[in-house]
């Protein structure tokens, strides 16, 4: 079998997605997600200009060899652009392999480890009352795990909180918006948020929170400790992960579990954190961490240290990523939870999916491969629109800050 064609499809049915489609001489095709939020066209060029010409004529069944060829062969290893491009090829090839075998992807990986995939939904509000309402709404829809975020009194705009109090979109279609930030206000507010949420939602529901890398290590330690009475499932990205020693400091002060890694793209980004048991959940995704082939290595390493998976699943990961992730989650032994921000109806008309949601769980489909395809004609009606994530500045003097 040979790869005869490969093309990149860029579309914006409400937000930008980059999709790779690979075709073979036997009429089978596969798709992969290559969306890198806010830097989409860099991956498009990487694929079109540098990767796709090398794929034509190769045997699509040699997934491992093609992965190594693109990783080692580039000489320039790792990085989000490279690893998203490799991920897209890898995901499309696993999709093709599933179709060759006539098996859903989870069967190729080793079969079912669980009946369904627990997902966490997003409850966001402009204030505590609105977030509590959203948590209760999610519980009523059957969610067993819910991430809670809210506006912070005294701060105008906070990323991850929509103006309407409902879903937020992780990019704005203009130049980057500027938000302001004050860690002291946030640290005072967040325990109050979770006190109210836990009181309203009861003991059973898993509560999660995303700090978006905004705290220093000692502030993150304070936050973790102040949230202990509310028994969170995790706090995510409490501090930037470039200096990984910071997580040792956080660990010394709190037993609140820690999730990290949505911006990681390689096993090398998380190896030390996992081996030192400084995190509890690894958030790396198929799309940004080198595809199924590489994420599997990360999960296997994590399993040795009882670190569980919690794959990133915001709406900037396309339905192709979500479809593949659900198969991965159905198989992976050390599964923790899967993030789930439902895509809009328009997005799901461009991408056809076969998963279903029921009582807080997602069920992957049984179609061969990962079960997601793209309607290219419809996609062409929604061309790329420039869009960016916001930036964060300290409220008191405008210094640029992490978020």
- Extract the runs of DSSP E, i.e. beta strands, from 92-203: 117-125, 145-150, 178-181
| 8, 71, 77 from 336: Cα distances, Å | 32, 28, 29
DSSP tag of 210: E
66 vs 135, which CB is nearer to Mg ion?
A: 135
130 vs 262, which CB is nearer to Mg ion?
A: 262
Stretch that binds Mg ion, among 258-266, 303-311, 342-350, 391-399 (CB under 5 A): 258-266
The angle subtended at Cα 257 by Cα 182 and Cα 291, nearest 5°, is 95
Beta partners for residue 393, in sequence order: 180, 400
Shortest distance in whole angstroms from residue 89 CB to ligand KDG: 21
Q: Which does 170 bind (CB under 5 to 8 A by kind): ligand KDG, Mg ion, none?
A: ligand KDG
Stretch that binds Mg ion, among 99-107, 124-132, 206-214, 383-391 (CB under 5 A): 206-214
Q: Is residue 209 annotated as part of the catalytic site, yes or no?
A: no
Shortest distance in whole angstroms from residue 376 CB to Mg ion: 31
Q: Around Cβ 399, how many Cβ atoms within 10 Å?
A: 10
The position carrying tokens 């990984």 is 244
What number of chain residues touch Mg ion (CB under 5 A)? Answer: 2
Task: Using CB under 6 A, list all residues that contact ligand KDG.
Answer: 37, 170, 210, 212, 262, 312, 314, 316, 339, 389
Q: Which of 122, 189, 212, 312 is catalytic?
A: 212
Shortest distance in whole angstroms from residue 53 CB to ligand KDG: 29
82 vs 84, which CB is nearer to ligand KDG?
A: 84
Q: Which does 316 bind (CB under 5 to 8 A by kind): ligand KDG, Mg ion, none?
A: ligand KDG
Which candidate, 38, 47, 39, places its Cα nearest to that of 19?
Answer: 47
Shortest distance in whole angstroms from residue 149 CB to ligand KDG: 10
Q: Which helix (H) or strand (E) holds 67?
A: helix 63-72
Q: Which of 106, 159, 340, 382 is catalytic?
A: 159
Which candidate, 156, 102, 154, 148, places its Cα nearest to that of 125?
Answer: 148
29 vs 239, which CB is nearer to ligand KDG?
A: 239
User: Which segments of 215-318 does DSSP mark as H helices, in order?
Assistant: 217-227, 246-253, 267-275, 291-304
83 vs 109, which CB is nearer to ligand KDG?
A: 83
Shortest distance in whole angstroms from residue 341 CB to ligand KDG: 7
Pick from 210, 219, 280, 373 the residue near Mg ion by CB under 5 A: 210
What is the Cα–Cα distance from 163 to 126, expressed in whole angstroms? 7
Q: Is residue 396 annotated as part of the catalytic site, yes or no?
A: no
Q: How is residue 397 written in tokens?
A: 């003097």
For the segment 320-339, give every residue that binds Mg ion (CB under 5 A): none
Q: Around Cβ 280, how many Cβ atoms within 10 Å?
A: 21
Q: Which residues bind Mg ion (CB under 5 A)?
A: 210, 262
Catalytic residue numbers, as ranges: 159, 212
């Amino acid at each position: 079998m040979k790869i005869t064609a490969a093309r990149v499809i860029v579309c914006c049915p409400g937000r930008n997605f980059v999709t790779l489609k690979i075709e073979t001489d036997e009429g089978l095709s596969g798709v992969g997600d290559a969306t890198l939020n806010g830097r989409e066209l860099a991956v498009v060029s990487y694929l079109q200009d540098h990767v796709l010409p090398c794929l034509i004529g190769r045997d699509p069944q040699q997934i491992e060899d093609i992965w190594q060829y693109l990783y080692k062969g580039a000489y320039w290893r790792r990085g989000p652009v490279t690893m998203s491009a490799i991920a897209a090829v890898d995901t499309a090839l696993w999709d093709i392999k599933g179709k060759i075998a006539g098996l859903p992807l989870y069967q190729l990986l080793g079969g079912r480890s669980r009946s369904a995939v627990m997902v966490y939904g997003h409850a966001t509000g402009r204030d505590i009352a609105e977030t509590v309402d959203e948590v209760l709404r999610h519980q009523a829809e059957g969610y067993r795990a819910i991430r809670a975020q809210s506006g912070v009194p005294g701060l105008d705009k906070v990323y991850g909180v929509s103006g309407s109090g409902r879903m937020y979109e992780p990019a704005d279609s203009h130049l980057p918006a500027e938000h302001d930030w004050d860690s002291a206000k946030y640290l005072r507010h967040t325990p109050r948020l979770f006190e109210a949420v836990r009181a309203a939602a009861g003991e059973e529901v898993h509560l999660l929170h995303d700090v978006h890398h905004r705290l220093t290590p000692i502030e993150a330690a304070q936050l973790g400790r102040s949230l202990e009475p509310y028994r969170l499932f995790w706090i995510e990205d409490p501090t930037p992960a470039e200096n990984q020693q910071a997580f040792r400091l956080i660990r010394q002060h709190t037993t609140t579990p820690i999730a990290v890694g949505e911006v990681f793209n390689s096993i090398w980004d998380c190896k030390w954190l996992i081996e030192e048991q400084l995190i509890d959940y690894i958030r790396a995704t198929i799309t940004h961490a080198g595809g199924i082939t590489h994420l599997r290595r990360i999960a296997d390493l994590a399993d040795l240290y009882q670190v569980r998976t919690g794959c990133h699943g915001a709406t900037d990961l396309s339905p192709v990523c979500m479809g593949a992730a659900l198969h991965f989650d159905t198989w992976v032994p050390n599964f923790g939870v899967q993030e789930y921000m439902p895509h809009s109806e328009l997005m799901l008309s461009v991408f056809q999916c076969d998963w279903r949601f029921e009582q807080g769980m997602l069920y992957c489909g049984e179609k061969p491969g990962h079960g997601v395809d793209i309607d290219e004609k419809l996609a062409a009606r929604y061309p790329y629109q420039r869009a960016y994530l916001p930036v964060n500045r300290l409220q008191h003097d405008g210094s640029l800050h992490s978020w």
